[in-house]
Structure 1
């Protein structure tokens, strides 16, 4: 069996100069390693990587003073109550309380006008636009009605067609109940 030797890897390790170490010690306090790396690159022209700097700080027994946590009294989400945003599903949400309590705007609007949404019911956007949270664009549907509307593709971009689709779904439910009797 013939054994091949591996090529030699050149290990050009950076040897820190006294100036680099002193400058590093003077700028580390209160900074992130990525920011320190930029300062070091600007000063010395050598590309210092954040991991390299983290190891050097460990070797020197020094720390940035940053622990990655929030200071006492700091609000993680500092948005004001009443602020609006869009969540990852595309719904408009409103901040209602601290520290981080948000509610769907369309639900708030509907419930303000009509009371609590009954269990087993959902709000449907008549024009399929989740950003159109006006009361006349919100339709309350039962779980069963929604199931049928989805099953028969009765939800449309056009509000009138969606309302017609809901009426068709109600008719299908009535027909199936009559057949059961």
Structure 2
């Protein structure tokens, strides 16, 4: 059974705000070299009572009682803002922030939807990140947003690379590390097939 460490719990808690589950899952796997699925992280969020701030939706036709206002409740009394009024700490779309794990986020929509800057840049040139894949920094520098430094890897490749220290401080060396990771995976698969085949012969 998978057990979340204190560091993992802190990571999810610090990064859940303004993110969809699939993005948070990718960040988690990059950070810890795991292969957690969206369903695992979604269950963690639910079980720990965490909120992203972007999942709640009113059903079609539903009209909230405070339509046209935004309220702050203090001591049981509501302070209502008129429609269009923005709180003093409002951040416009396009703003950047550094989250608790040193990744740069960009606000992509109101009221509070943020996305990792390196993923945004990669997707602008390549389209959506494929399912089961993650974008990493080739040289390990989370401030180097050059397209050549943003590398797409599968979660399986990332797990092998983290395990064997194949992510280098040079993007080209990291790309070589991806090739090595694929070789390791191929060798591992071949060994499993051989072991399985040997057990099959023993039963005959």
Q: Tell me which interval the TM-score lies in, with the shorter structure as reference length.
A: 0.5 to 0.7
Number of equivalenced pairs = 116
Distance 1:178 1:104, change over 3 A: same
| In structure 1, distance between residues paired with 2:134 and 2:164 | 18
Q: Deviations over 1:6-35 (max 9, x none)?
A: xxxxxxxxxxxxxxxxxxxxxxxxxxxxxx
Per the alignment, residue 82 of structure 1 pairs with: 94
The structure whose RCO (Cα within 8 Å, separation 6+) is larger is 2
User: Normalised by the size of structure 1, how large is the TM-score?
Assistant: 0.57
| In structure 1, distance between residues paired with 2:118 and 2:165 | 23
Per the alignment, residue 13 of structure 1 pairs with: none
Per the alignment, residue 158 of structure 1 pairs with: 170
Q: Secondary structure at the match of 1:82?
A: coil
- Which of 126, 129, 142 is the equivalent residue of 1:117? 129
Per the alignment, residue 39 of structure 1 pairs with: none
| In structure 2, distance between residues paired with 1:106 and 1:70 | 38
| In structure 2, distance between residues paired with 1:70 and 1:118 | 44
Q: Secondary structure at the match of 1:165?
A: helix
CA RMSD of aligned residues (A): 2.2
Q: In terms of mean alpha carbon deviation, does 84-93 or 145-154 score higher?
A: 84-93
| In structure 1, distance between residues paired with 2:140 and 2:79 | 40
User: Normalised by the size of structure 2, how large is the TM-score?
Assistant: 0.51
Higher strand proportion: 2
Match runs of 1:30-69 below 5 Å: 67=74
| In structure 2, distance between residues paired with 1:84 and 1:70 | 29
| In structure 2, distance between residues paired with 1:70 and 1:155 | 51
Unaligned runs of 5+ in 2: 1-72, 195-204
- Which of 117, 138, 144 is the equivalent residue of 1:126? 138
| In structure 1, distance between residues paired with 2:169 and 2:138 | 7
